[in-house]
Amino acid sequence: RRWDTERQEWVYPADWRPIDSAPKDGTRILGFGKLGFEPEDGIGTVMWNWAGYWVCDPHEATEYGPEKCELTHWSPLPEPPNE
């Protein structure tokens, strides 16, 4: 990360932002951190759950429901392809 003196904020490579600034309205985003039961940090599609925590893609939910994620950073999803 580097400090952007013009914007007066930390800038993360690839537009990664601190998780505290992520939308909590059900918007799907890219999340970085512990994804479900994975032992290592990774990147995946996540969203804020109505119950008040980050969940991994709900389409991949287990029999116990969506897996919780412990995230440190987020980035908006890229635009889908035109074709």
| Per-residue confidence (pLDDT) for residue 16, from 0 to 100 | 86
Question: Which H or E run includes 31?
Answer: strand 29-35
Using the structure block, give the residue that is written with the tokens 């412990």.
Answer: 70
| Per-residue confidence (pLDDT) for residue 59, from 0 to 100 | 54
Whole-number Å distance between alpha carbons of 25 and 46: 12
pTM for this entry = 0.70
39 residue type, one letter: P
- pLDDT tens track, the chain, 83 positions: 667 777 777 665 567 899 999 999 989 899 999 887 777 888 888 888 888 888 876 555 454 555 778 899 999 887 777 77
